[in-house]
Amino acid sequence: MTNHDDGLGPSSMLWHFLADRRYLFVLPRAVCLLLLHPGIAAGIDEHALMRKRIWLHKKRTFTQAVNYAYSDLDMRPQMRFSHEHVKGVDSLGHKYHALNPDTFHFQHSAYVESLVVMVNTFVRRLDADEHEQLYQECCAWYRRYGVSTRPMPATWPEFVEYFEDYCRTHLVAGAHFEPFREQIFAPSDWWMRAVPHPAIRALQHPRAVELTGITVSAADRWSLRQFVRLAQLSALTPRHHWNSKARAALSTAAQHRPTTPLGAARR
Amino acid sequence: MMFLVRIIDALIRVLGIRTSAEAQPLGTAGSRIHVDQYTPRFDDGPVGLTEALDFWSAAAAAANVVMQLSMPGVGHGVVESRVESGALMEHPWKRLRTTAQYMAIAVLGNDEERAAYRDAVNVAHRQVRSTAESPVQYNAFDQDLQLWVAACLFVFYEDTYQLLRGKMTQAQAEGFYHHAWPLGTTLQVTADQWPPTRAEFDTYWNTTCQTLEMDEVVRDYLMRLVDLKMINPILRAPLAPLLRFLTIGFLPPLFRELLGVPWSPTEQRQFENLFLFVSVVNRFIPRFIRTVNYTVLMADVRHRIRRDKALI
């Protein structure tokens, strides 16, 4: 049993934004970038149980990754156990391994970038200090995975530079992406299926737009703006905090009780 | 709900249906439940495991979980599991569905459906391994641990079937036992791991029972399950006392000791009378109603496989 002392808790920004359902609406941005990475696409295509329903796969795995930010337990062995068999050769003939620190960190950074985009688009504009604070909290989240932090940039501006550079040099269009195309732009599962398809196009990263060959029109951006306004109502609906661990942790914090470890009684 | 149990007990005592106690069979005393009087058997023909699919048997589900988790490797594997999507305490109804579905598939499914379920379970099991901090070493792919769980599932069917339909003859028990093998072989248990005969199964069961242990961590976890701490309080209030009664009733004495729960002769009488009553009622219920839960589970799993949806 570990009690982390890394600043993640009810007073961190990360705890509130990660649990926000609107984050799920932005995930097609992150996952599109991930599937343009030949190694990551091959890993999912060859090893994932739900390879044909990418959002059901993400519902299981991404939920678990988010749990890491709220858990008091040492989750590092689980990350290793669930990834160590994921290896092979990708469509370009390169070897890949899911626990390769560079590939692994890119997965995380795509989620971080989408989180920041979500907050800026759906919640409020963050200033430079807030960007830095949120980024540092995301670094604390990453350290809980137990994978080498060598590729992790130290500050937010360096991260932006790293991320854009990585997308430019490592992502390619090709056969590895095509099986997932329809599900990215027209999700059929989980909360992303509530997002209008034009808004999903408008949410894409510029590099993803370039590689997938989609066009983002003014109407798509208008759709996104309308959806952003509609999505504010999410906070009024049940399960606005979509992740059950996050819900439990936040409600425990609200009642001023110490956080319970994962799996402990919470009612 | 418990008042129904007491009414049925009073009714059967007034009618004076029960006869005197039989001699307890040697060997399995303590490691298997003992019932003085089973409902009379109507037939001597061969019995398959499909006959044992009956919605009343859900009454023994929690007791069976207790028995499975009494083996330290299984107990700590479940309690320490970091797999959230199937965690009993996090998603109790989902876990009920997936466990029941596994059992339905093992008995009723074809090879393709079994393979699909095995693949899905393997993904979760791959993450269940002991770490340096675990008090015992375990791995969810350990075939000995899996055999124990499968043995518990067989005991589940045998106990509930005999309570509802009467005691099987030796030949029937043998056939029934062999039908139960897919409960283990659907995962990593191999056919030659199962004790070859029903009598040898008793030996395996009793020997293994000597090695069982339960520490505070597992006991707390199981007591939270028995008291239904993980479900909605509105449902919990009527269900928890009944589940507790049924669970302790379905636990062999050895497991009651491990769990540290009391059980009185009065409760034993109420338990036996309840199942005498239920077994009579059950004979008048058409089969398609008694097995409706399995029909729904199988339809659901086939739908999920067809649509590439998540099985677990």
Q: Could you report the predicted ipTM of this complex, rounded to two decimals?
A: 0.81
Whether chain A has a CB inside 8 Å of the CB on B115: the answer is no
> Rounded to a whole number, what is the distance in Å from the CA of B58 to chain A's nearest CA?
24
pLDDT (0 to 100) of residue B78: 94
B247 lies in a domain? yes
Does a structural domain hold residue B161? yes
Higher pLDDT, A168 or B40: A168
Residues of A with Cβ-Cβ distance to B135 under 8 angstroms? none
State how far the Cα of A183 lies from the Cα of A188, in Å rounded to an integer: 7
Contact B82 A245 (CB under 8 A): no
pLDDT of B50? 86
* Model pLDDT for residues A192-235, shown as the tens digit of each residue: 999 999 999 999 999 999 999 999 999 999 999 999 999 999 98
Residues 6+ apart with CB under 8 A from A195: A25, A28, A187, A203, A227
The reply to whether residue B133 touches residue A64, judged by beta carbons under 8 angstroms, is no
Least CB–CB distance from A78: residue in B119, B127, B309 = B127
Amino acid, res. A167 = C
Q: Mean pLDDT in runs of 10 for chain A (267 residues)?
A: 76 92 96 95 91 91 93 88 92 92 95 96 94 95 93 95 96 94 94 95 96 95 96 91 90 70 48
Cα–Cα distance measured from residue A247 to residue A48, given in angstroms and rounded to the nearest whole number: 27
Q: pLDDT exceeding 90 applies to what percent of chain B?
A: 73
Across chain B, mean pLDDT equals 90
CA angle (A93 as vertex; A42, A49 as ends), nearest 5: 15
Task: Give chain A positions within 8 Å (CB) of B84.
Answer: 63-64, 67, 244-245, 262
The minimal CB distance from A56 to the residues B90, B224, B310 is found for B310
The per-residue pLDDT for A262 is: 53
First to last CA, chain B: 31
Residues in A whose CB is inside 8 Å of some CB of B read 1, 49-50, 52-53, 56, 59-60, 63-64, 67, 73-75, 77-78, 81-82, 85, 244-245, 262-263, 265, 267
Reply yes or no on whether the pLDDT at B133 is more than 50.
Answer: yes
pLDDT in tens, B272-308: 999 999 999 998 999 899 999 999 999 999 999 998 8
Whether B82 sits inside 8 A of A78 (CB atoms) is yes
pLDDT higher than threshold 90 for residue B270 = yes
Q: What is the DSSP string of chain A?
A: -----SS-STTSHHHHHHTBHHHHHHHHHHHHHHHTSHHHHHHHHHH-TTTT-HHHHHHHHHHHHHHHHH--S--HHHHHHHHTT-EEE-TTS-EEETT-HHHHHHHHHHHHHHHHHHIIIII----HHHHHHHHHHHHHHHHTTTS--TT--SSHHHHHHHHHHHHHHH---STTTHHHHHHHHS--STGGGGS-HHHHHHHS-HHHHHHHT----HHHHHHHHHHHHHHGGGGGSTTSB--HHHHHHHHHHHTT-PPPPTTS---
Paired residues of A88 in beta bridges: A96
**pLDDT on residue B240:** 93
Q: Would an 8 Å CB–CB cutoff place B94 in contact with chain A?
A: no
Task: Please indicate, yes or no, if residue B10 is contained in any of the structural domains.
Answer: no
Q: Compare CB distances from A263 to B85, B87, B309 and report the shortest one's residue.
A: B87
Phi, psi of A51 (to 5 degrees): -60, -25
Contact B84 A265 (CB under 8 A): no
Q: Do A267 and B233 touch (CB under 8 A)?
A: yes
- Name B20's bridge partners: none
Write down the pLDDT at residue B26. 46
Which residue of B78, B84, B88, B130 is the best one to mutate when testing the A interface, meaning the one whose CB has the most A CBs within 10 A? Answer: B84
Task: Burial-class residue A236 by CB neighbours within 10 Å (0-12, 13-18, 19+).
Answer: exposed
What band does B27 get if pLDDT is binned at 50, 70 and 90? low
User: What average pLDDT does range B68-76 have in this prediction?
Assistant: 95
B29: β partners: B32
Which residues in chain B (148-177) have CB-CB distances under 8 A to chain A? none
Give the domain extent around B265. 47-306
Q: Give the residue carrying structure tokens 């009087």.
A: B37
CA triplet B270, B274, B279: central angle to 5 degrees? 150
* CB-based contact A78 B83, cutoff 8 Å: yes
Q: Which of B31, B70, B312, B270 is nearest to B159 (CA)?
A: B31
Q: B123–A49: do the CB atoms touch at under 8 Å?
A: yes
Encoded tokens for B119: 């693949």
Residue B21 has a pLDDT of 53
From chain B, the residues in CB contact with A265 under 8 A are 89, 224, 229
The pLDDT of residue B157 is 94
Q: Which residue in B82, B229, B310 is closest to A50 by CB distance?
A: B310
Residue of A nearest to B80 (CA): A263
Measured from the Cβ of residue B4, the count of other Cβ atoms closer than 10 Å reads 11
- Answer yes or no: is B18 within a domain: no
Instruction: Answer whether residue B137 is part of any domain.
Output: yes
Mean predicted confidence (pLDDT) in B161-167: 91
Q: Is the pTM of this model over 0.95?
A: no
**Residue B233 touches partner A, C-beta closer than 8 Å:** yes
What total number of domains does chain B contain?
1
Measured distance CA(A251)–CA(B261) in Å, rounded: 33
B215 pLDDT exceeds 80?
A: yes
The count of C-alpha atoms lying within 13 angstroms of the C-alpha of B73, restricted to the half-sphere facing its C-beta, is: 16
Looking at the complex, does the CB of residue B216 fall below 8 Å from at least one CB of chain A? Answer: no
B262 burial via Cβ count (<10 Å: 0-12, 13-18, 19+): exposed
- For chain B, give the DSSP string: -HHHHHHHHHHHHHHT---PPPPPPSSSBTTB---S-PPPP---S---GGGG--GGGGGGHHHHHHHHHTSHHHHHHHHH----TT-TTTSHHHHHHHHHHHHHHHHH--HHHHHHHHHHHHHHHHT-B--TT-SS--BTT-HHHHHHHHHHHHHHHHHHHHHHH-PPPHHHHHHHHHHTTHHHHTTT--GGGS-SSHHHHHHHHHHHHHT----HHHHHHHHHHHTTTTS-HHHHHHHHHHHHHHHHHHS-HHHHHHHT----HHHHHHHHHHHHHHHHHHTTS-HHHHTHHHHHHHHHHHHHHHTT----
Distance from the B279 Cα atom to the nearest Cα atom in chain A, whole angstroms: 37
